[in-house]
Amino acid sequence: MSSESVKDDCLAWAARDPSGVLSPYKFSRRVLGKDDVSLKITHCGICYADVVMSKNKYGDSRYPLVPGHEIAGIVKEVGSCVSNFKVGDHVGVGTYVNSCRECERCNDRDEVSCEKGAIFTFNGIDTDGSITKGGYSSHIVVHESYCFRIPDGYPLASAAPLLCAGITVYNPMMRHKMNQPGKSLGVIGLGGLGHMAVKFGKAFGLKVTVLSTSISKKEEALCVLGADNFVITSDQEQMKALHKSLDFIIDTASGDHPFDPYMSLLKTAGVFVLVGFPSEVKFHPASLNIGMKTVSGSVTGGTRVTQEMLDFCAANKIYPKIEVIPIQYVNEALERMIKNDVKYRFVIDIESSLK
């Protein structure tokens, strides 16, 4: 099969320096390999990781940097040995595009935890030494093992945020058996990840309480997202009323915050899952030991659970709340994200605006 299409210049927007300002950029994707899928990107979600890496917050950004790891699109070409996808299929790509495919984690289709390190969709070093470039671009070439089938009829714009925000909360929810109807879930933070935790919790039949610092989110949490309860965490009376009442807590907040008050809300043997990235985690040992509580961390998820999540969302009509934008608005969107001014995920309409 001809690989002419993947030799064409790839249009993109990239950051050139730690200012994080993105502007138009052209580069070449690798030639289609026998196991590769070439994907025409139609939509790409904006994750806070895009802000962090564009601005070199970790000190390891490689410029020019093309962000984006919530990718949805349409297959335009497949390699000669590809068996799972065909031209025209709707496909997603998430936070990683390669791994060793040999270790215990990879063999269990938990590639995000690859013992040799998963290769991230952007700003990673691929096996050929090239720097990976993400979804703020016209197309991408990915080994078929790291592509996900987007169910027929599920909107591509809505599918994009599931590849990071969605799977980041779904994976630990399944791992810790939070899909038990009648159990109680607390969700800390109501952003891109938090609102998906609420949606999954309700789909699982949980009683969901949103724990927030902002009263302005109350109506949205209760009336739009369907949460059962909303608590302002600075209100000691409201927090006291929740003492030892929750089976699970998912903490999506990345800003620094105390942990002991939240741990006190868990029942005996309750589970606290951290998916945000505050600068430190501190709690008194008694908060953990008394009541036999579990504290767990999590990132995104392997290919098995990610495909499961996509199918679950389609079957249960679960859609992230999104604001679709043109690529030309991306710098404003990144600044708005820093200010938490989005409900609840920006999604770039790549197909219509990247020309």
Q: List b or e across 188-206, with b for residues whose CB sees 16 or more CB atoms inside 10 angstroms.
A: bbbbbbbbbbbbbbbbbeb
φ/ψ bin of 189: left (φ > 0), alpha (ψ from -120 to 50), beta (otherwise)? left
Task: Find all residues with CB under 8 Å of 314, minimum gap 6, and list them.
Answer: 151, 153, 154
Q: Is a pLDDT exceeding 80 seen at residue 251?
A: yes
pLDDT band, very low/low/confident/very high, at 3 (cuts 50, 70, 90): very low
Q: In the prediction, which pLDDT does 2 show?
A: 40
Query: Can you read off the two tokens belonging to residue 160?
Result: 């994009």
The pTM for the full model equals 0.94
Rounded to an integer, what is the distance from CA 52 to the centroid of its chain?
14
Residue 348: phi and psi, rounded to 5, are -85, 130
Residue 327 and residue 348 in contact, taking contact as beta carbons nearer than 8 Å: yes
Collapse the DSSP code of 278 into the 3-class scheme (helix H, G, I; strand E, B; otherwise coil) and give the result. coil
Average pLDDT over residues 55-79: 97
Q: Is a pLDDT exceeding 70 seen at residue 7?
A: no
Return d(Cα 47, Cα 300) in angstroms, integer.
Answer: 12
Q: Is a pLDDT exceeding 80 seen at residue 221?
A: yes
Strand segments, DSSP code E, in 29-95 are 36-45, 71-78, 90-93
Residue 115: count of CB within 10 angstroms of its CB: 12
Average pLDDT over residues 330-355: 94
% pLDDT > 90, the chain = 93
> In what helix (H) or strand (E) does residue 119 lie, and over which residues does it extend?
strand 119-120
Residue 75: phi and psi, rounded to 5, are -65, 125
Residue 72: count of CB within 10 angstroms of its CB: 30
Query: Can you read off the two tokens belonging to residue 21?
Result: 């300002």
Residue 345 and residue 319 in contact, taking contact as beta carbons nearer than 8 Å: no
Average pLDDT over residues 132-138: 98
Residue 253: count of CB within 10 angstroms of its CB: 23
Query: Can you read off the two tokens belonging to residue 172?
Result: 């630990």
DSSP assignments along 282-305, one per residue? ---HHHHHTTT-EEEE-----HHH
Residue 140 and residue 39 in contact, taking contact as beta carbons nearer than 8 Å: yes
Task: Find all residues with CB under 8 Å of 223, minimum gap 6, and list them.
Answer: none
Residue 30: phi and psi, rounded to 5, are -70, 155
pLDDT tens profile 179-219:
999 999 999 999 999 999 999 999 999 999 999 988 989 99
Among 224, 239, 242, 237, CA closest to 184: 242
Q: In the prediction, which pLDDT does 6 show?
A: 42
Q: In the prediction, which pLDDT does 8 show?
A: 53
Task: Find all residues with CB under 8 Å of 142, minimum gap 6, and list them.
Answer: 36, 37, 39, 93, 97
Residue 24 and residue 13 in contact, taking contact as beta carbons nearer than 8 Å: yes
Question: Which of the residue ranges 58-62, 121-125, 126-130 would you say has the lowest mean pLDDT?
Answer: 126-130
Torsion from C-alpha of 254, 258, 264, 270, nearest 10 degrees: 30
Q: In the prediction, which pLDDT does 5 show?
A: 43
pLDDT tens profile 20-59:
999 999 999 999 999 999 999 999 999 999 999 999 999 9
Return d(Cα 352, Cα 238) in angstroms, integer.
Answer: 47
Q: In the prediction, which pLDDT does 254 show?
A: 87
Q: Is a pLDDT exceeding 80 seen at residue 4?
A: no
Instruction: Label each residue of 18-31 as H, E or C.
Output: CCCCEEEEEEECCC
pLDDT tens profile 289-324:
999 999 999 999 999 999 999 999 999 999 999 999
Ordered alpha helix ranges (H), the chain: 4-7, 48-54, 104-107, 156-159, 165-175, 192-203, 218-219, 236-241, 260-263, 285-289, 303-316, 330-338, 350-353
